[in-house]
Amino acid sequence: MTVIGTRLPRAEDPRLLRGRGRFGDDFSAPGQLWARVVRSPAAHGEVRDLDVTEARNVPGIAAVVTAGDLPRDLVIPVRLAIADTDLSGFLQPVLARDTVRYVGEPLAVVVGDDPYACEDAAELVGIDIGGRPAVLDARQDPPRVAAELTRGYGDPGAAFARAAHVVEIDLAIGRHSGVPLEPRCLLAVPGREPGELAIFGMTKVPVWNRDLLADLLGVDETLIRVHAIDAGGGFGVRGEFYPEDFLIPWLALRLDRPVKWAEDRAEHLMAVNHSRQQYHRIAAAFDAGGRILALTDDVVQDNGAYCRTHGVAVPELTVAMLPGPYRVPAYRGRVRVVLTNKTPCGTYRAPGRFEGTAAREHLLDVAATRLGLDPVELRQRNLLTRSEMPHERPISTLGTEMILDTGDYPALLAAAVAEAGRLGYRALSAGTALPTRKRRGFGLAMFVEKSGLGPQETADVTVSRSGTVHVYSGGTSLGQGIETVLTQIAADAIGADPGAIRVTAGDTAAQPFGAGSWASRSTVVGGSAVHQAALAVRRRAIELAARVLEAAEEDLDLAGGSVSVRGDPAVRLTLADLAKVAAPASRYLKEGEAAGLSARRRFEASHMTYPYGVHAAVVEVDSGTGRVRVLRYLVAYEVGCAINPMLVEGQLRGGVAQGIGGALLEEFRYDEDGQPQAITFIEYRLPTAAEIPPVDVLLCQESPSPGNPLGVMGAGEGGISAAGAAVANAVRDALGLPGSVGQLPLTPARVCALPGAIAGPGTGGRP
């Protein structure tokens, strides 16, 4: 291998840096109409009247659609179904008909020639909603429970009964979500054939969305083409199937004109999938030596008003992966998924793991204090060792058994502690000569991620007559650099120059069997499919070259885009030559042999692979104002094999920025009537460059995954998974708290309310 492992410049950047990217709102069609969604102003109530008369009479308005115009009982199904969980009574309708359940729920759609006229007309829709009490606390009694899940093994009750020490804490994780650079956009263009549609704007799972849309519209899926677009980030919230993803194509077919919808930022913040909001009561039983005997966690998830396409995947991941990298002889995790009158929830980068890791790792820091142990030492005593890998837990999640496939957790922890010491984290967290009210602390957290979810990914690799190698992947470009990664994989497998590779990702016509980019699967599953298809093309090229050169295949080599005879490099055939040799009617093709220099391969993944890592943070807390500043941050991460280390490091640093936002700043709050209080960036506080410290990365490639031919593990979520835990532990250390910080994000008001907020400098948890 000569290209994998190199810091190849991103293939996407030349067009993006020159302003030649094509994002959702860059696409338009001649004669297009614009759509504006009319949303509920109430959190909960009966729809008594929806008067659209005035709106329909506005000049230039082509249609105003309500639930009465749609097929009855039209709801959005679940994509990630969990066995034995019936969510059919909790699914979101495309348009609310009789009842609204959150502010921002779609009630109607206005379509017209001008987007501003549509917005004006939308304000003329008369909405009469009979108010009902809004349920805003998932812990209130009785809750509206959509599902209850329990995962575990062993006998935790017996372990707690014989334990020398029992430690329990409560930790709440606030509601926040991904905020991509561009909100959602959708353009649907009808074709010449009945039911034919071109769709621009769907990302993440375009083939699944295409198939679902075809089912809802009652058309053949091959009539719908979802085109690849650029996206300024996905993070879980972009590309799932929302009500608008049915409405805009349906309107295009009904009106026989292109229809475009572009979400504004206020819409995005109130209507796109929220995530995270969970309440944990977590406990651990320890023996006299500080070794874990059992772990339990009772979780309540505030899922908002409906179960959307993710179903209950987030709460299942929370309890399934909560034991993390530790030796836990007995475990029980129970989660109740409760519906409230808030925006529905879905996934956000590291769904379930950010929340579960925060609870577990914060518990371990509190336990270390109560047991009189150093937090690092407590973890070292309980980590699974390399000799115990692979480690199978009798738990399944997302339809696969949990088998921690490879790794050396103690070694990575030791390496992270040593790196933090080398970089001066100890001296910085000591905080000598600080003003009286300033406190510094160090926090550390470990985590196990999951990546490479199956069941499959398909790739096509084709060499054209120019010698260009075309890669068609089911993955999608969300800003993560998929074109670059697949270029490197294909170039190495074939033996071609990376400059000769062209990657097409996310186009359902080019790759109709793709499963999309989500769950840190693009490189693991999609890359493996490309690897296998490219190797097949390599073998085919050598086979054809052997016929032309009248040489034995074992005497030929393919490198630099040419096949040559070993020992006689002057005799060579380029890939362009061989593509022509493989043309139909070529005399070098055998009777009945398929033409073309191409291959399609499907990579199937029956189990996920589990990367892991360590986060460490140094914070400074102003105990007078409650402001928390993160001064330094370290991520140590085992990725198995880094196809492009630069991209992995970028993913990790970007994840840290989002994690700090969720730990300190970002939160969706509601007033007593269920009105959202964060619908602009004034209220929803994103971190800026001023809030993000230097992020150090220790990238490890010591434990290649045995589950795929490249040995890779996913890198998309490792930068955020333990950020909440590391920051919470650092704040706790800075303030010398004996117990939990209680709730994330740690806003200034919450920090000031912590017991001991004006205590002396912290002493625990430092390397």
Domain boundary among 604, 622, 649: 604
Residue 729 Ramachandran class (φ > 0 left, ψ -120 to 50 alpha, else beta): alpha
CA distance 234 to 678: 20
pLDDT for the residue numbered 239: 87
How many domains, the chain?
A: 3
Beta-bridge partner residues of 333: 151, 297
Burial class (CB in 10 A: 0-12, 13-18, 19+), 709: middle
Q: Using 50, 70 and 90 to split pLDDT, how confident is the model at 87?
A: very high
- Does residue 270 sit within a domain? no
Q: Which of 604, 625, 644 is the last residue of a domain?
A: 604
Residue 160 belongs to a domain: no
For 647, residues 6+ apart whose C-beta sits below 8 A from its C-beta are 10, 480, 481, 484, 485, 715
- Residues of the chain with pLDDT > 70, as a percent, come to 98
Q: Answer yes or no: are the C-beta atoms of 367 and 287 closer than 8 Å.
A: no
The yes-or-no verdict on residue 602 having pLDDT over 60 is yes
Position 722, amino acid: A
**Mean pLDDT, residues 513-530 taken together:** 95
pLDDT, one tens digit per residue, over 390-443 is 999 999 999 999 999 999 999 999 999 999 999 999 889 987 667 778 999 999
pLDDT tens sequence across 724-767: 999 999 999 999 999 999 999 999 999 999 986 754 444 444 44
Three-state DSSP class for residue 735? helix
Q: Do 118 and 211 have their domain in common?
A: yes
With H, G, I as helix, E, B as strand and everything else as coil, classify residue 328. coil
Domain end: 557, 572, 604, which one? 604
Using DSSP's 3-state secondary structure scheme, residue 583 falls into: coil
Closest CA to 26 of 185, 183, 179, 180: 185
Q: 350, 317 in Cβ contact below 8 A?
A: no
Between CA 741 and CA 713 the distance in angstroms is: 33
Average pLDDT value for residue range 587-616: 95
Strand-pairing partners, residue 130, are 46
**447 plus 580 within the same structural domain:** no
Same domain, 600 and 612: no
Query: Is residue 314 a part of any domain in this protein?
Result: yes
Model pLDDT, residue 39: 98
Answering whether pTM is above 0.85, one says: yes
Same domain, 478 and 407: no
pLDDT confidence of 294, banded at 50, 70, 90? very high
Distance in angstroms (rounded) separating the CA atoms of residues 379 and 81: 35
Same domain for 587 and 636? no
Indicate whether 688 pLDDT > 60. yes
pLDDT at res. 270 = 96
Position 758 scores a pLDDT of 59
Could you read off the pLDDT of 136-152 as tens digits, one per residue? 999 988 889 999 999 99
CATH number of the domain within which 65 lies: 3.90.1170.50
Domain that holds residue 746: 278-452+607-753
Our CA dihedral for 727, 319, 234, 715, rounded to 10 degrees, sits at 70
pLDDT digits (tens, 9 = 90+) for 487-499: 999 999 999 999 9
Please tell me whether residues 196 and 73 are part of one structural domain.
yes
CATH code (residue 473): 3.30.365.10
Question: What pLDDT is recorded for position 766?
Answer: 43
Look at residue 511 and tell me if it is in a domain: yes
Same domain, 727 and 629: yes
Q: What's the whole-number average pLDDT of the chain?
A: 95
- Domain match, 312 and 446 both: yes
What Rg do the C-alpha atoms of the chain give, in angstroms? 27
Same domain, 425 and 514: no
pLDDT of residue 570: 84
The string of pLDDT tens digits covering residues 302-355 is: 999 999 999 999 999 999 999 999 999 999 999 999 999 999 999 999 999 999
* 661 shares its domain with 598: no
Residues 723, 651 within the same domain: yes
> What are the Cα distances from residue 416, in Å, to 208, 446, 716, 767?
40, 10, 20, 9
| Other Cβ atoms within 10 Å of 730 Cβ, number | 35
pLDDT at 546: 97
**pLDDT exceeds cutoff 90 at 278:** yes
What average pLDDT does this structure show over 31-38?
A: 98
Which 3 state secondary structure label does DSSP give 412? helix
3-state secondary structure of 582: coil
Can you tell me the mean pLDDT for 563-576? Answer: 91
User: Is residue 486 one of the residues assigned to a domain?
Assistant: yes
